[in-house]
């Protein structure tokens, strides 16, 4: 009878290799957290992990840095990783979440420049604390830049304009969305 219980207990328990892979994956997640801006790390509800990451960013020596990353991994094993994964996905350029967010910002920028009436209310609804006046000013500048660019293209001149205002508008939307979404 005890052999059956031991067998069942053995089958339910993950193998040592699987546990090592899980620990390694969590440690890699901790390393990805190191790439996230400090302002965004503050959105994590785990102050111990935030402090550990801030400390690790200051460490330049190899062995000490490895130990600190191991410590971050150990702390991550104690918490709910869903919140951490969401934060990492927002800043990981290879994730679908980041890509979707990036496309949304591009669409908003293009619609603003095309003077779509509904996009401003969409943006304000999604980003309630955005500076509306500054957004309108950047939009006007980008529209004027586009008009100048179109005129140069019609004249078929070799002179080209760099899309500075176009990029500024996108960067503003990106910065504002990082703080609010």
Distance CA 119, CA 109 (A): 9
| Residue ranges matching CATH 1.10.60.30 in the chain | 2-91, 96-180
Tens digits of residue pLDDT in 144-178 = 988 888 887 777 766 667 788 889 999 898 888 87
Distance CA 68, CA 78 (A): 16
CA-wise closest residue to 87 among 32, 22, 21, 23: 32
CATH topology of domain 2-91: Diphtheria Toxin Repressor; domain 2 (1.10.60)
Tens digits of residue pLDDT in 52-75 = 999 998 988 889 999 999 999 999
pLDDT of residue 19: 86
Q: Would you say residue 134 has pLDDT above 90?
A: yes
pLDDT of residue 114: 92
Longest dimension (CA), the chain: 91
Q: How confident is the model at residue 93 (pLDDT cuts 50, 70, 90)?
A: low
* 96-180 classified as CATH 3.40.50.300: no
Using an 8 Å Cβ cutoff, are 155 and 175 in contact?
no
What's the mean pLDDT in 105-133? 90
Using an 8 Å Cβ cutoff, are 46 and 79 in contact?
yes
Tens digits of residue pLDDT in 2-23 = 555 555 555 677 788 888 888 8
């Amino acid at each position: 009878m005890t052999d059956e219980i031991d067998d069942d207990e053995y089958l339910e328990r993950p193998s040592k290799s699987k546990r090592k892979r899980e620990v390694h994956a969590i440690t890699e997640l901790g390393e990805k957290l190191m790439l996230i801006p400090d302002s965004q790390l503050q959105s994590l509800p785990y102050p111990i992990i935030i402090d550990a990451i801030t400390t690790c960013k200051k460490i330049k020596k190899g062995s000490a840095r490895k130990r600190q990353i191991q410590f971050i991994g150990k702390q991550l094993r104690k918490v709910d990783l869903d919140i951490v994964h969401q934060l990492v996905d927002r800043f990981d350029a290879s994730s679908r979440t980041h890509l979707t967010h990036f496309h949304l910002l591009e669409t908003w920028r293009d619609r603003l420049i095309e003077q779509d009436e509904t996009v401003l209310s969409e943006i304000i609804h999604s980003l309630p604390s955005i500076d509306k006046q500054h957004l309108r000013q950047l939009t006007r500048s980008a529209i004027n830049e586009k008009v100048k660019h179109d005129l140069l293209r019609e004249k078929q001149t070799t002179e080209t304009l760099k899309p500075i205002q176009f990029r500024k508008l996108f960067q503003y939307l990106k910065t504002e969305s990082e703080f609010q979404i």
